[in-house]
Amino acid sequence: MTTDDLILVGRVARAHGNKGQVIVNPDTDFPDDRFAVGVTVLVGPAATPRRITSARFHQGRPVLGLEGIETMDDADRLAEAELKVPAATLAPLPDKTYYRHELVGCQVQDTDGRLIGEVASVEGSMEMSRLVINAPHGEVLIPLVDEICVEVAPAERRIRIRAPDGLIELNAK
């Protein structure tokens, strides 16, 4: 398995308490599934497999116990570590639903074929997502809705948009 086969699902924010638990900043639309007791996540640059031994949510963030992480010092060493899962473990999604990693790197064009930029990230929840586009004149935010994103083709690394007048200029940072 290569690092290309791994999907980011969260990052350790910091240690929590004195029993080796960590608080995670999730990077997934499925936190209940990704951070459930018994699930194995791959931790840090070495992608060390660690089974989740305890899980609860506090203010929207998972608080996890990880196998082999028993003390606050152990947990402190995980600060900023990425948590990943193998891409093969991802379930198929319904039509017109996409995993974030499928959209990052896609070229965004308007319906006339003019290049707007490249998707740098996807923000928001599954119900209210927006594309963060690196455009020549700065970052542009585009709502990921059918009325604007008229063609989403991750396999071709392309998204075509029909932006209302002024949307690109309004959202440029």
pLDDT tens digits along 24-82:
999 887 899 999 999 999 999 999 999 999 999 999 899 999 999 999 999 999 999 99
Dist. CA 56–CA 37, nearest whole Å: 9
pLDDT tens digits along 110-162:
999 999 999 999 988 777 889 999 988 889 999 999 999 999 999 999 999 99
**Running DSSP on this structure, what letter comes out for residue 12?**
E
Domain residue spans of the chain: 3-89, 100-171
Strands (E), the chain: 6-16, 21-26, 40-43, 48-58, 61-66, 82-86, 107-110, 115-123, 130-135, 138-143, 149-153, 158-161
Instruction: Look at the domain 3-89 and name its fold.
Output: Elongation Factor Tu (Ef-tu); domain 3 (2.40.30)
- pLDDT beyond 90 at 170: no
Residue with tokens 């690109």: 168
- Quick one: pLDDT at residue 4? 61
Q: Do 3-89 and 100-171 have matching folds?
A: no
Dist. CA 69–CA 77, nearest whole Å: 10
Top CATH class, 100-171? mainly beta
